[in-house]
Chain A
Amino acid sequence: MFKWFGKVNFSPYTKVTDFADHLKDGRLMGSKCKQCGHESFPPRADCSQCLSGDFEYKEFSGKATLVTYTTIHAAPTGFEDVAPYTIGVVDLKETGRLLAWFGDTIPESEIRMGMDLQVVPRIFEELEDIKVYYSLEKPGTTWSVAE
């Protein structure tokens, strides 16, 4: 269910709703068009190249490099309690980009443009509802089910 994705979710209904189910189980999924084979991240149900609506999920490695980042001090509604937080934009090894928070394995002082990173699926353990996201971590960091 896509409503699980993000601390605050603004688009609970989507054709790629199973993305969040996969993420909850530790898998980062992109999409692959069944007609022309074009791959996307973020995943999309409708192919930008051949316009086909027939797609399948493809698991991505999560290997990534940092393109740019910023630390947000003035936070919007719903995020005040986690500010300041640092977001990064990364190029994924397979294709596409994603934007995410830096996780605990990388102190702010160690962030460098172009550094290698691992995108790791996460569950908000401190929240009662199921809330999933992904974070940017040191290469080699693995997903693990909460104890």
Chain B
Amino acid sequence: MSRVGIIGIGHGQFGRRSDATVQELAFEAFREAVQDAQVDPKEIDGSVIGSVPEYHKQRSLPGVVQEYLGLNPVPTWLTEVACASGSAAIRTAWMGIQSGAHRLMAVIGCQKMTEISTPEILALMGRVGEVQWESVFGTTFPAYYALFAQRHMHEFGTTREQLLQVAVKNHFYGARNPNALFQKEITIEKALASDPVSDPFQVYDCCANADGAACVIMASEEVAKKSSKPVAWLDGVGCATASMSVLRRPNLVGLPSAEKASQKAYEMAGIGPGDVKVAEVHDCFTVAEIMAYEDLGFCEKGAGGRFIEEKQSYADGQTPVNIDGGLKSKGHPIGATGVSMTVEIVKQLRGEAGERQVRNADIGLTHNVGGIGQYCFVHVVRRD
């Protein structure tokens, strides 16, 4: 099989962006990516938009983004799988290029969330659970992950402090990421003093809704090889699903979709978890990062709490994770997140991550989860 390369990256400021429309946010990331790739936008032969439409007043988002980016008349379409929409867009572009239908594509993850209120978002997100049998009891998105956390603590002895150590790490690195929403370190004491959300979670266990966009320029092997930039090759694409309902999961201590997707990605790239030098994982809640260590095989099932306690996921640990601050500190504009993760991994592979740079980063991984694990995309990216 021929390869697909990432030759340009762009990342806008995440946060409460009441200064811009969603297409203006998309433009910031697109401009940076096109300039980074040093390509003429007229050579781009299609775009894929990763976004979740429910949050926008604008219907049919790809149309307005495509026009504002100046990409008419080449094709565009939307991918939507909740919080994994951005990675679905990358997978779709990979498919488009592998099929031969496209040679050079722009993938834009973009989202404006802060135009609606927090209770409304809680209601919308809670309905990513099953509405017929679960949402009738007022379930929320944090509540689902709280159900996982309680079970993980019960089965494996994972502690409250270990959960919060994830937040402390991600804020530590977020404080060093100029695109992050929260560029501030936190302490366990401060986190323990925050308001309760859904036990055991308090405010600092949860990522924040945000506005923002990220963009990657993807190219066929032939086009990528002519690029003046060091190419990051998308060598493993894994994707899997799990039941919509939490009531039909085989266990409540991990995401079966993440296990399956990572196996597929590792197999395709011909690597194992021990080869990953830097990873971006979907830490929408503290426990989600701990489950990701386990589902991705960075440690044994149940050992995720100790993994963070021993700082194995810090930049100088066994497998550095979320060295850009993660969703926790960057903010989580849901459609943009998967693309944002990919941008960070490419930066790391190129050695452009500045004070956040991980040593010997030749193979990177992204783990992007939709909903409560109904969808999971794991991508392996490798530099030349």
A71 to B252, CA, bound (A): 17
Is B147 at the interface (CB under 8 A from chain A)? yes
Which of A31-39, A54-62, A72-80, A137-145 forms part of the interface with chain B? A72-80
Is B31 at the interface (CB under 8 A from chain A)? no
Residues of A within 8 A of B131 (CB): 10-11
Residues of B within 8 A of A75 (CB): 119, 122, 138, 140
| A interface residues, how many (CB within 8 angstroms) | 37
A96 to B248, CA, bound (A): 8
A-side interface residues toward B, CB under 8 Å? 5-11, 14, 42, 67-80, 82-85, 87, 89, 96-101, 113, 133
Contact count A vs B, C-beta below 8 Å:
114
Contact of A71 among B123, B133, B198 (CB under 8 A): B198
A73 to B195, CA, bound (A): 9
A99 touches B146 (CB 8 A): no
Q: List 22 A-B contacts (CB under 8 A).
A: A7-B136, A10-B127, A10-B131, A10-B132, A10-B135, A11-B132, A42-B247, A68-B252, A69-B150, A71-B199, A72-B143, A74-B122, A76-B140, A77-B120, A83-B138, A85-B137, A87-B137, A87-B143, A89-B147, A96-B247, A99-B137, A99-B247
A70 touches B247 (CB 8 A): no
Q: Taking A10-B136, A11-B131, A42-B133 as contacts, is the C-beta distance between A99 and B246 under 8 angstroms?
A: yes
Q: How many Å from the CB of B285 to the closest CB on chain A?
A: 12
8 Å CB interface, B109-168 against A: 118-120, 122-123, 126-127, 131-140, 142-143, 146-151, 154
Q: How many Å from the CB of A80 to the closest CB on chain B?
A: 7
Is B197 at the interface (CB under 8 A from chain A)? yes
A68 to B147, CA, bound (A): 6
* 5 nearest A-B residue pairs (beta carbon): A6-B136, A79-B138, A76-B123, A70-B146, A10-B131
Is B70 at the interface (CB under 8 A from chain A)? no
Q: How many Å from the CB of A13 to the closest CB on chain B?
A: 10
Which residue of chain B has the shortest Cβ distance to A14 in the bound complex? B132
A99 touches B195 (CB 8 A): no
Instruction: Categorize the interface residue count of chain B.
Output: 35 or more
Residues of A within 8 A of B136 (CB): 5-10, 133
Which residue of chain B has the shortest Cβ distance to A75 in the bound complex? B138
Given contacts A7-B138, A99-B247, 8 further A-B contacts (CB under 8 A): A69-B150, A76-B119, A76-B126, A77-B122, A78-B123, A83-B138, A87-B138, A89-B247
Q: Taking A85-B138, A87-B137, A87-B143 as contacts, is the C-beta distance between A77 and B247 under 8 angstroms?
A: no
Which residue of chain A has the shortest Cβ distance to B200 in the bound complex? A70
Which residue of chain A has the shortest Cβ distance to B154 in the bound complex? A113
Contact of B147 among A9, A14, A69, A78 (CB under 8 A): A69
A68 touches B247 (CB 8 A): no
A53 to B140, CA, bound (A): 32
Residues of A within 8 A of B134 (CB): 99
A80 touches B154 (CB 8 A): no
Which residue of chain A has the shortest Cβ distance to B144 in the bound complex? A70
A68 to B119, CA, bound (A): 24
A101 to B199, CA, bound (A): 14
A67 touches B198 (CB 8 A): no
Is B178 at the interface (CB under 8 A from chain A)? no
Residues of A within 8 A of B133 (CB): 42, 98-99
A99 touches B198 (CB 8 A): no
Is B317 at the interface (CB under 8 A from chain A)? no
B143 touches A70 (CB 8 A): yes
A82 to B252, CA, bound (A): 26
Residues of A within 8 A of B198 (CB): 70-74
A52 to B132, CA, bound (A): 21
Q: How many Å from the CB of B126 to the closest CB on chain A?
A: 5
